[in-house]
Structure 1
């Protein structure tokens, strides 16, 4: 694949980093090459290196603009909380759509992003509040192969070991495991074993959560298609929603991730649970392939 002359931006949300490609006006990477392109450009030490690739695309439905994200393994994800903050900052800072509230189309549904930019220096972090939408705990919608309608603090046998977890979708699938000490978890062992478990036909994101109080947690993530990441916005949202559903967390929670902090606020709508996510995003550098 000839990438000579390709312009891109490198961005991150709490250390979860992405290569951002602007395809708002025209397609740059052919559709049938996006998977391979993402694999190649995300290779750390051999290329730009990233957890994934974000494409800025024109809206096709009822949004202002469309968000697409491919993992480092070339698979396309439905949604990414840290990624959508980087996306929104890129769109705002590059005058693609100069609005303080964006309606963003994703494979996980329409997301509303409120932007509080730094007016003095657009290269430093800006604050973003994202309506992550309504979640579902229904196993058929996650999707998860299970005998129960919801998998709430239920036991799953993983490589012969019984692990209690809660599964949820916020547009993409998550397994949430509450533990006494997240730092002692062998993530390189449990992460891929749960991600690729036969119960999850589309694989799953995996999170281990340590509760500090009902308003504060610490979590680590094994991200589907990327492995360990410093932060996961949809994951933080899923962990708080799961804790709220189980009655062990309040509706406003500060989430500590290896890359920094996120604020999650749970809301109810027609007896269903949704959440707002608040956090930052930063431009690292812009580049051009030679």
Structure 2
């Protein structure tokens, strides 16, 4: 007997996802999720996406639970563009009708403030991404140093100066003169899979236009080149503030559009708010064998 799985196709700045509501019942068995994600994300043969988001009931103190899987079937801790799509889906489908959501993620609870338009649907959202850590054991990164900030890493026969940090998931930020001329297909996977990153890493090449504006291109862990990366934009701006290259309010230009990142200080740590939109592309039904 075949099964029908309802889904929505959504994107944040071209970073696209299949969103599935499991808030009342499980649609994809836990031991089948990775296989399902790989199948449904394959462009040309299925829906095609950078990943799959599952909406699940809260397990703790949050309003709702966010789970996200990369296109290769691996589960990620967090995703900035994904959580904006998730929050719009949750509000617009009346799963949780609150203007401020506390969302459970593998990176902790994230608070999302929603802007609702005249038609009653979410038009944009502002996410408190929390604070970053530069501690190598928390990224994680297998080096003796406590932090890896503006340091050289040997990659493909050359030394790449990068800053490693985590904003709930791991990021390598490389400041360059021209982000669009970077050989992303060569350097992206080489850094993502570098042996010093045991859980792999997201890779971002950042061009500083001025202290309040950057251009960024991304090689995303488990997905490859993507149109945008919200956690990556957050990490890149925080790294730029740490290195005194950027102001605390920055417009980030990505291939799929723009994000606004506002950095704040919490004790000795840097955190950030991320603001941007999310778009429903279409709703659909997947027909699957048991």
Fold conserved (TM > 0.5)? yes
Q: TM-score normalized by structure 1?
A: 0.97
In structure 2, distance between residues paired with 1:54 and 1:164: 33
Question: Does the CA-based 8 Å contact 2:156-2:187 persist in structure 1?
Answer: no
Q: How many residues align?
A: 287
In structure 2, distance between residues paired with 1:3 and 1:60: 30
Question: Does the CA-based 8 Å contact 1:22-1:57 persist in structure 2?
Answer: yes
Q: How does 1:1-290 map to 2 (within 5 A)?
A: 4-120=3-119, 122=121, 126-290=123-287
Deviation (angstroms), 1:121 = 6.5
- Runs ≥4 residues deviating over 6 A: none
- Secondary structure at 2:180's aligned position in 1? helix
- Secondary structure at 2:126's aligned position in 1? strand
In structure 2, distance between residues paired with 1:108 and 1:120: 32
What runs of 5+ residues in structure 1 fail to find an aligned partner?
A: none
What runs of 5+ residues in structure 2 fail to find an aligned partner?
A: none
- Secondary structure at 1:146's aligned position in 2? coil
In structure 1, distance between residues paired with 2:77 and 2:145: 24
In structure 2, distance between residues paired with 1:21 and 1:213: 40
Deviation (angstroms), 1:159 = 2.1
Question: Does the CA-based 8 Å contact 1:221-1:228 persist in structure 2?
Answer: yes
In structure 1, distance between residues paired with 2:193 and 2:281: 32
Deviation (angstroms), 1:117 = 1.8
C-alpha distance after superposition, 1:102-131 (max 9, x if no partner): 000000111000000223263xx7110000
More displaced 10-residue stretch of structure 1: 142-151 or 228-237: 142-151
Once superposed, what is the RMSD of the aligned Cα atoms? 1.0
C-alpha distance after superposition, 1:121-173 (max 9, x if no partner): 63xx7110000001100011000011211111000001221000000100000
CA shift in 2, pair 1:67/1:153, >3 Å: same
C-alpha distance after superposition, 1:179-225 (max 9, x if no partner): 00011101000000000000000000000000000000000000000
- Secondary structure at 1:289's aligned position in 2? strand
